[in-house]
Amino acid sequence: MQPDDIGPESWAPDGDLLGLIRELSSVAAPTGNEDRLTAAVSSWSSARGWQQQVDRLGQVAVSVGPEDAGTAVMLVAHLDELGLVIRAIEEDGWLRVHRLGGMPERVLPALRLVVHTAGGDLPAVVGSKAHHLTDASEKYVAHPATDLYLDAGFSSAADAEHAGVRVGDPVTYAPSWTEFTGGRFSGKSLDNRVGVAAMMRALTDLAEDPPDARVHVVFSCLEEFNLKGTLAMAERLRPDIALVTDIVPATDPPDLSGQGTSSLGLGPSLSRLTFHGRGTLGGLVPHPALVRGVEEAAGATGVPLQYDAVIGCLNDASYLPMATAEGIAAVSLGIPCRYTHSPVETAQLSDVEHTATLVTEFARRAHAFDLSRGAAQTAHGIA
């Protein structure tokens, strides 16, 4: 899907939020190549006459509230999605790949994908050994992505190259969408299009009734690759406060019972700890004043609030506290999502709606947050 096909002027976050999420999900924005969604969000913002900046990384920042406000707030949701990248074109036309971000190998065989070339999009499938000829020792094995191959219908490397395929081209899940009962829905790249949709609705509300703080709503890039895109925006905007909205793995399916606390339909989750725990020191313990700020905003709006502390997850908040010499007070909210990083991520509309309401109220209260540490924080007790 090209940017001109999206019709961003018709996006109405204050109306059909589910339709907005469906449209966002359909757009291909592999990490490092987010231009289609960058263009769409920028066009949507421009059509409303809002002040915005688009940086060299493809990140969009829309600013509302007084320019001379004493407090600057950055609200963040990332545009990009995980994928694959073509690493080799074999002589007989098979395409070999590397992972681009955390695409899970165990879901890949027999999936429909899209290869994004300079000349356009090409359908492909991931090869899967014929069941009739699969040895019993292989039937329950997940092979690494480097062992897999893509079939795009080519008979030779020359065919692939003639079609425009080059080493380095990104690959994404083919778009899919399913609506269930009870406001639940499934599609690809809900991580983090549900966060983008929530932030678009919050921005719409804040633009109509500007807050006392200077609020910069940032649609970031490169989250799924190295989490560094937001650092550039932090340097540009110099916020005092950052709130990141992303997904959090829902642990209500039976195979995750007892492994977490987030469930669909119970509202956004306030992350008290994120830590990767797999060879990196990235993560976040949120600023205590912002924990209270989220809780007070939830209480004022009646938004149900969950809590999580997750090892194995990172988001755009992970490195923000150290992005400026003064330090940035940071916190993150998670929208519960099942089957994360798969092509059938599943979420609930009410959680997105509640997240947008909570983010908006948080931004309205941010000018009054006391970010000082020491005695000012211990007066509230620990946490």
Q: Give 383's pLDDT tier (boundaries 50, 70, 90).
A: low
For 200-246, write each residue's pLDDT tens digit: 999 999 999 999 999 999 999 999 998 889 999 999 999 999 999 99
- Of residues 382 and 311, more confidence is placed in 311
Radius of gyration of the chain (CA): 21
For 312-359, write each residue's pLDDT tens digit: 889 999 999 999 999 999 999 999 999 999 999 999 999 999 999 999
Whole-prediction pTM: 0.94
For 82-105, write each residue's pLDDT tens digit: 999 999 999 999 999 999 999 999
* Token pair of 50 as six digits: 């809002």
- Per-residue CA distances from 80 to 29, 172, 322, 359 (Å): 5, 11, 23, 21
Q: Is 131 a residue whose pLDDT tops 90?
A: no
DSSP states of 81-136: B-EEEEEEE-TTS-EEEEEESS--GGG-TT-EEEEEETTEEEEEEE----GGG--G
Q: What is the structure's pLDDT at 132?
A: 82
How far apart CA 172 and CA 83 sit, in angstroms, is 5
Any idea which residues carry the catalytic annotation?
223
Q: Is 142 a residue whose pLDDT tops 90?
A: no
For the residues 50-70, what does the mean pLDDT come to?
A: 96
For the residues 9-18, what does the mean pLDDT come to?
A: 72
Closest to 31 (Cα-Cα) out of 205, 171, 201, 230: 171
Which residue type occupies 305?
L
For 243-269, write each residue's pLDDT tens digit: 999 999 999 999 888 888 899 999 999
Do the Cβ atoms of 318 and 227 come closer than 8 Å?
yes
Strands 241-249, 329-337: pairing kind: parallel
How far apart CA 224 and CA 162 sit, in angstroms, is 30
Count of CA atoms in the C-beta half-sphere (13 A) of 362: 33
Q: What is the structure's pLDDT at 329?
A: 98
Q: Where are the alpha helices (DSSP H) in the chain?
A: 17-26, 35-47, 157-162, 190-208, 229-237, 288-301, 349-365, 375-378
The kind and range of the H/E element at 38 are helix 35-47
Domains of the chain: residue spans and CATH: 3-81+188-378 (3.40.630.10), 83-173 (2.40.30.40)
